[in-house]
Structure 1
Amino acid sequence: MSSSLFSSRDADLILHSNSSGEGGQEDGSSINFLVHRCVLSTASPFFEAMLSLPQPNAERNSDIPVIPMAEDGSVVETILRHIYPLPNPPVETLDELAQMLEVARKYDFTSVSNHLRQTLVAAQFLEACPLRVYAIASRYDLDEEAKVASKATLCAGLDKMPLHDDLKSMSGFAYHRLLQLHKRRARDAVALLELPDDVRCMSCNGRRDTVNQPPRWWAHYKEAAKEELLARPTSDIICSLSFIQRAALASGCERCAGSILSSCWFFDQLRQKIDTLPATV
Structure 2
Amino acid sequence: MSAASQDPSEKTSSLFQFPDADFTIRSSDKILFHVHKTLICLASRVFRDMISLNHLSSSSSSPHPIVDISEKGDLTDAMLRYIYPLPRPVFNSLDPMVLLLEAGDKYDIANIAAAIEDLLLVTPIAESDSVRAYAISKKFQLSRLEPVVECMLLKEPYALLQDEETPDEIGQITADDYRKLDFYRKERVRRAHELFNHNRVKDRAMCECRKKEIVCNIPQLHQIMAEERRVCQSWGLFARICSKELLKCPTLDINAHHLRQRAVDESSCKDSKTVLFDDLKVIIACLSLDIQELPWRFPEAYAEVPDTESFQERELPRMG
Greater shift, 68-77 or 41-50, is seen at 41-50
Equivalenced residues, count: 261
Aligned residue number for residue 60 of structure 1 = 59
Match of 1:225 among 239, 242, 256: 242
2:169 alignment partner in structure 1: 166
Identity %: 24
Alpha-carbon distance in structure 1 between the residues aligned to 2:116 and 2:171: 21
Q: 2:252 aligns with which of 213, 219, 237?
A: 237
- The alignment partner of 1:4 has SS state of strand
- Could you say which residue in structure 2 is the equivalent of 1:261? 281
Distance 2:240 2:33 in 1: 63
Cα deviation digits, residues 140-189 of structure 1 (max 9, x gap): 23333322322232112224751322213333344443344334444444
Check conservation: 2:204, 2:231, Cα contact below 8 A.
no
Report the equivalent of 2:259. Answer: 247
Deviation at 1:100, TM superposition (A): 1.0
Structure 1 residue identity aligned to 2:170: L
TM-score, with structure 2 as normaliser: 0.68
User: Is the contact between residue 186 and residue 232 of structure 1 (CA under 8 Å) also seen in structure 2?
Assistant: no
Structure 1 counterpart of 2:202: 197
Amino acid at match of 2:70: A
| Cα distance change on mapping 1:193 and 1:262 into 2, 3 Å | closer
Q: 1:15 aligns with which of 13, 25, 36?
A: 25
1:110-156 Cα offsets, whole Å, 9 max, x none, are 22221122223334134323332221111123333322322232112
Range with greater deviation from structure 2 (44-53 or 204-213): 204-213
Letter in 1 for 2:14: S
User: Secondary structure of the residue that 1:87 maps to in structure 2?
Assistant: coil
**What residue number does 1:116 align with?**
116
Q: Cα distance 1:205–1:246, how it changes in 2: closer, same or farther (>3 A)?
A: farther
Alignment-mate amino acid for residue 225 of structure 1:
C
Which stretch of the first structure deviates more once superposed, 206-215 or 184-193?
A: 206-215
In the TM superposition, what whole-angstrom CA distance separates every residue of 1:208-234 from its partner, at most 9, and x where no partner exists? 648955264762x4344222332355x
- 1:1-281 alignment to 2 at 5 Å? 1-19=11-29, 30-55=30-55, 58-61=57-60, 62-159=62-159, 161-162=162-163, 163-194=166-197, 196-198=201-203, 209=212, 212=230, 214=232, 216=234, 219=237, 221-233=238-250, 236-239=251-254, 241=255, 244-250=256-262, 251=264, 255=274, 256-263=276-283, 264-272=285-293, 274-275=294-295, 278=298
Please say which structure displays the higher CA radius of gyration. 2
Contact kept? 1:6, 1:33, Cα under 8 Å: yes
Q: CA deviation at 1:6?
A: 1.8
Distance in 2 between residues matched to 1:70 and 1:51, nearest whole Å: 16
**Secondary structure, counterpart of 1:100 in structure 2:** helix
Listed as ranges, the gaps of 5+ residues in structure 1 are 20-29
RMSD of the TM alignment (CA)?
3.3
The two structures have a TM-score, normalised by structure 1, of 0.76
Q: CA deviation at 1:86?
A: 0.9
- Which stretch shifts more, 79-88 or 32-41? 32-41
Give the letter aligned to residue 18 of structure 1: S
Distance 1:79 1:216, change over 3 A: same
The answer to whether the 8 Å contact 1:121/1:133 transfers is no
